[in-house]
Chains A and B, each alone.
Chain A
Amino acid sequence: MGSYVIRRFLQFIPVVILASIAVWAIVYAVPGSPAAALAGENATPETVAAIEERLGLNRPVIVQYFTWIGQAIHLDFGNSAINGQPVMEQLSSRIPASLQLALFAMVIGLVLAFPMGVVAAVKPRSIATKVINLYQAVALAVPTFWVGILLIIGLSVKNQVFPAISNYVSIWSDPIGAIRNTLLPALCLGIYISGIIARFITASLRDALGQDYVRTARAKGVPEGAVISRHAMRNAMLPTVTIVGLMIGEFLGGTVVTEVVFSYPGLGRMIYSGITARDYPIIQAAVLFTILAFLVINLLVDVLYAFLDPRVRLS
């Protein structure tokens, strides 16, 4: 098990190197020089040259990359091209906000999805399953921003239960304030993912229930509840863990639309404003963090996989 984790961890390194090159190259992805873009349309060549000098854009490409990566390793992503503040400062305030939103959303998603997924798998022809299928279709089809706007109108504007603009309040310092501020955007995302996760649970649980070992368990006289929870569910968890992991990874990179709708100060909104202002250091840092978060989540999923499925440990 230990060597498995180490092996998986070593596979990280080439991915991270490639990702860092791609992220750094964002600067060059835009037509024209980034300095010209920053300086604006009416800038003089002297101004552009000054910006190039300040950002180090006039040095050889390879030098630029190693300078950037050398600083990035020390968690120094330079200063914002717009307001001159250290990027890391902004990033370190946004990451916990996004993390909290992601975990809230995932808890809501799982709490909604699990009972629905199990009922739909165990009683495929029941009325409850028809209702669940309808809910899933709606949850998947309705855009999250629209749900967000409805929630704001219903619970913030008309009833004033929740604030219309969500601030980041840490769950550790003020749990009630955190719930008040994070619940609406989390609900918005949670409803959306509950539809997807429930479908995964239904499909994989239904598949597991049709397997020979489930029939063996029934033939042993195991009560139906234990057949589902002890025998089928653990096997059905494997594909579900994968999708849940991927979604947490995605959320950690920020949920742009939801964060913008609720004015939530997460990574998504930081990337959004970074892109509109062409603030390259901000975009580079945020995207690199997103990639790293995704890789770490993937590793965790694989470790969890090995824990759930003994067959993985050998291969």
Chain B
Amino acid sequence: MVTPVLQIEDLAVEFTTPEGVLRAVDGVSYSVDAGETLAVVGETGSGKSVTVLAALGLLDAGRIVSGRVMFDGLDLLRLPDKKLRRLLGSNLTMVFQNPMSALNPVMTVGRQVAETLVVHDRKLTNKGARGRAIELLALVGVPQPDVRFNQYPHEFSGGMCQRVVIAMAIANNPRVIIADEPTTAVDVTVQAQLLDLLQVAREETGAGVVLITHDLGVVAEVADRVAVMYAGRVVETAPVRNIFRAPQHPYTVGLLSCLPRLDSTVEELVPIPGSPANLLIRSPGCAFQPRCGLSADRDICTSDRPELAAAAADSAAAGSWAACHFADETTAWSAREHLVREPS
């Protein structure tokens, strides 16, 4: 049994808005092992990004209501700022969604990479940091790194900027890399290269990777395990194979049925009915119930909130955990509704 390198337990985050208190993250728990890629999927506003930003103390607004974030026997949420800062950028690093704005426009790219090194190694000389930064730029595939070192972010393409951000993320041999939609803002052709680069980075450093994405294609390509989030909660967590073969939560089924696939004959793509949950209204039951085809207005769905429960060990979904009262019916239901297509 591998012990997880980063473990988020029962994290809850609230924002105070003019309309009331909004619970963006509502008791989220997941963990990532060393050398593993955990994909966190869900639509915009499901709390994917807020969860990790809160975990690393990078949230600008909002309030952490409860939870623990365990790293190396330490609870990051209760760590003094100074100690947390020593972990950030060295043991725990992040790759952000928008590479162009993630880099400081008035500082050379090289200095920004070198800064990551110097901040965590006071003994490093400027010359040493420069040399190491150039090595890192070369490692992530920036051509002519010694020339590029002195250039500014606006002289780089989006894909190149993201390579620089990745260089900063792997500079100090991290144990956890959190990538928040790292390929959303770049060209499709560059996406694959960046994902490869993240895989290489994971192998080089042996870090656990948390990959936040709403792109199930990306999930299929790089993830070992998947956590599906809806309305600030994890509704299903499973090995990647199970997610595509035997999804246990109706929301996961919904996500898959609106994904075009080349490996099966498709009649049409089925959107999930309704709109994303309003986080200002907290129902006592399942947040997905109003949009759920499986619920069929059964009372328990509106009265009791389902907790994550393991799928039967002898089923196709062994190893999956889903937060649905009727998870055992999902496979039959989705087959009946032709929602999930078996590869032909």
Report B-chain residues with C-beta under 8 Å of the C-beta of A221.
Answer: 85-90, 116, 119-120
In the complex the two chains form, is B88's CB within 8 Å of A212's CB? no
Say yes or no for A215: interface residue by CB 8 A criterion: yes
Say yes or no for B115: interface residue by CB 8 A criterion: yes
In the complex the two chains form, is A231's CB within 8 Å of B107's CB? yes
Report B-chain residues with C-beta under 8 Å of the C-beta of A211.
Answer: 101
Say yes or no for B104: interface residue by CB 8 A criterion: yes
Report B-chain residues with C-beta under 8 Å of the C-beta of A89.
Answer: none
In the complex the two chains form, is A311's CB within 8 Å of B90's CB? no
Say yes or no for A235: interface residue by CB 8 A criterion: yes
Q: How far is the CB of B185 from chain A (nearest CB, A)?
A: 11
Report B-chain residues with C-beta under 8 Å of the C-beta of A53.
Answer: none
Say yes or no for A234: interface residue by CB 8 A criterion: yes
Q: Pick the residue among B89, B93, B94, B104 that contacts A213 (CB under 8 A).
A: B104
Say yes or no for A309: interface residue by CB 8 A criterion: yes
Number of interface residues of A (CB under 8 A): 23
Report A-chain residues with C-beta under 8 Å of the C-beta of B115.
Answer: 217, 220, 222
Q: How far is the CB of B167 from chain A (nearest CB, A)?
A: 11
Q: How far is the CB of B50 from chain A (nearest CB, A)?
A: 13
Q: How far is the CB of B119 from chain A (nearest CB, A)?
A: 5
In the complex the two chains form, is B168's CB within 8 Å of A220's CB? yes
Q: How far is the CB of B112 from chain A (nearest CB, A)?
A: 8
Q: How far is the CB of B214 from chain A (nearest CB, A)?
A: 19
In the complex the two chains form, is B90's CB within 8 Å of A219's CB? no
The chain A residue sitting closest to B57, CB to CB, is A218
CB interface residues, A 201-240, toward B, < 8 Å = 210-213, 215-224, 230-231, 234-235
Q: How far is the CA of A213 from the CA of B107 in the complex (A)?
A: 10
Q: Contacts A216-B96, A221-B88, A221-B120 known; A231 to B104 CB distance under 8 Å? A: yes
Report A-chain residues with C-beta under 8 Å of the C-beta of B140.
Answer: none
In the complex the two chains form, is A311's CB within 8 Å of B85's CB? no
Say yes or no for A165: interface residue by CB 8 A criterion: no
Q: How far is the CB of A233 from chain B (nearest CB, A)?
A: 10
The chain A residue sitting closest to B101, CB to CB, is A212
Say yes or no for A14: interface residue by CB 8 A criterion: no
Q: How far is the CA of A17 from the CA of B192 in the complex (A)?
A: 58
Tell me if A's interface is mostly helix, strand, loop or mixed: helix
Q: Mark A292-315, 1 if CB is under 8 A from B, else 0.
A: 000000000000000011110010
Report B-chain residues with C-beta under 8 Å of the C-beta of A224.
Answer: 81
Q: Contacts A219-B88, A219-B94 known; A212 to B105 CB distance under 8 Å? A: no
Report B-chain residues with C-beta under 8 Å of the C-beta of A230.
Answer: 107
In the complex the two chains form, is B120's CB within 8 Å of A235's CB? no
Report A-chain residues with C-beta under 8 Å of the C-beta of B103.
Answer: 213, 216
The chain B residue sitting closest to A219, CB to CB, is B94
In the complex the two chains form, is B152's CB within 8 Å of A212's CB? no
Q: Pick the residue among B56, B116, B152, B165 that contacts A310 (CB under 8 A).
A: B152
Report B-chain residues with C-beta under 8 Å of the C-beta of A308.
Answer: 106
Report B-chain residues with C-beta under 8 Å of the C-beta of A219.
Answer: 56, 58, 88-89, 93-94, 96
Report A-chain residues with C-beta under 8 Å of the C-beta of B101.
Answer: 211-213
In the complex the two chains form, is A216's CB within 8 Å of B102's CB? yes
CB interface residues, B 74-94, toward A, < 8 Å = 81, 85-90, 93-94
CB interface residues, B 127-179, toward A, < 8 Å = 152, 154, 165, 168
Say yes or no for B60: interface residue by CB 8 A criterion: yes
The chain B residue sitting closest to A308, CB to CB, is B106
Report B-chain residues with C-beta under 8 Å of the C-beta of A210.
Answer: 60
Report A-chain residues with C-beta under 8 Å of the C-beta of B152.
Answer: 310-311
Q: How far is the CA of A81 from the CA of B252 in the complex (A)?
A: 89
Q: How far is the CB of A237 from chain B (nearest CB, A)?
A: 9
Report B-chain residues with C-beta under 8 Å of the C-beta of A234.
Answer: 106-107
Q: Pick the residue among A212, A215, A220, A235 that contacts B116 (CB under 8 A).
A: A220
Q: How far is the CA of A309 from the CA of B56 in the complex (A)?
A: 31
Q: How far is the CA of A234 from the CA of B103 in the complex (A)?
A: 14
Q: How far is the CB of B319 from chain A (nearest CB, A)?
A: 32
Q: Contacts A221-B85, A221-B120 known; A311 to B154 CB distance under 8 Å? A: yes
Report B-chain residues with C-beta under 8 Å of the C-beta of A217.
Answer: 104, 115
The chain B residue sitting closest to A307, CB to CB, is B106
Q: How far is the CA of A81 from the CA of B84 in the complex (A)?
A: 74
In the complex the two chains form, is A310's CB within 8 Å of B89's CB? no
Q: How far is the CB of A220 from chain B (nearest CB, A)?
A: 4
Q: How far is the CA of A220 from the CA of B88 in the complex (A)?
A: 6
Report A-chain residues with C-beta under 8 Å of the C-beta of B98.
Answer: 212
In the complex the two chains form, is A218's CB within 8 Å of B58's CB? yes
The chain B residue sitting closest to A220, CB to CB, is B89
In the complex the two chains form, is A309's CB within 8 Å of B106's CB? yes
16 A-B residue pairs with Cβ-Cβ distance under 8 Å, sorted by A, are: A212-B102, A216-B94, A216-B103, A219-B89, A219-B96, A220-B168, A221-B87, A221-B90, A221-B116, A222-B89, A222-B119, A231-B107, A234-B107, A309-B106, A310-B106, A311-B152
**Other 15 A-B pairs with CB < 8 A, given A216-B94, A216-B102, A219-B88:** A212-B102, A213-B104, A218-B88, A219-B56, A219-B96, A221-B86, A221-B89, A221-B90, A221-B119, A222-B115, A223-B85, A310-B152, A310-B154, A311-B105, A314-B154
In the complex, the 9 A-B pairs of residues with the closest C-beta atoms, listed nearest first: A221-B89, A220-B89, A212-B101, A213-B104, A221-B88, A310-B152, A219-B94, A216-B102, A220-B116
